[in-house]
Amino acid sequence: MTLDELYMGKALAEAETAFAVEEIPIGAVIVHENTIIARAYNLRETLPCATAHAELLAIEKACRHLNRWRLSGCTLYVTTEPCPMCAGAIVNSRLDRLVYGCPDPKAGAVHTLFHLTDHPRLNHRVAVTAGIRADECADLLRRFFRLRRKKRVPPMP
């Protein structure tokens, strides 16, 4: 198992926690010098807060841990391709690297709909590795939404 696969497993564990509390199962961890310094999962419904995405919560924790806003030297592992809001935060926080699991065909802002992490007009570019444990990440999302449809939970506002 590679380090990327290992750390993605930690992000998947966060996503499983989100699933258990009926949040969309997306998990994230941030690694600095081979140590996890932040862990988070989606909390939009729980808080309720539109910006409570796993990536943003992990970035906030990492900044507090390192006592700086620049997260150079850090890698973010997240189970799903980040949305535009999260991709913007990844660039603005100066993360060196992003590793994600499965693509997001509806909101992906790294490779799918937009290419924010390597946009030539932005002042920072992030190295990206995609597809790490992608099947497991996508499976978790499919199980969540299948269960939600089965329960006939009304769509979120």
What lies within 8 Å, CB to CB, of 92 at 6+ separation is 124
43-66 pLDDT tens trace = 999 999 999 999 999 999 999 999
Cα separation, 86 vs 108, in Å, equals 10
Whether the CB-CB separation of 127 and 2 falls below 8 Å is answered with no
pTM, two decimal places:
0.95
Residue 132 buriedness (CB in 10 A; 0-12 / 13-18 / 19+): buried
Q: Which residues are annotated as a binding site?
A: 53, 83, 86
Is 55 a catalytic site residue? yes
Is residue 23 over pLDDT 90?
yes
Q: What are 94-117's pLDDT values in tens digits?
A: 999 999 999 999 999 999 999 999
Nearest by Cα to 100 from 34, 7, 2: 7
* Predicted local confidence at residue 110, as pLDDT: 98
pLDDT exceeds cutoff 90 at 30:
yes
Third-level CATH fold of 1-143: Cytidine Deaminase; domain 2 (3.40.140)
Residue 13 predicted with pLDDT over 70: yes
Among 55, 60, 81, 136, the one annotated catalytic: 55
User: Given this model, what pLDDT does residue 154 score?
Assistant: 60
Please state the domain extents for the chain.
1-143
Confidence of residue 80 (pLDDT cuts 50, 70, 90): very high
Whether residue 153 is predicted with pLDDT greater than 70 in this model: the reply is no
CA 30/CA 76 separation, integer angstroms = 4
Torsion angle defined by CA atoms of residues 2, 7, 8 and 10, in that order, rounded to the nearest 10 degrees:
140
Enumerate the known binding-site residues for Zn(2+).
53, 83, 86
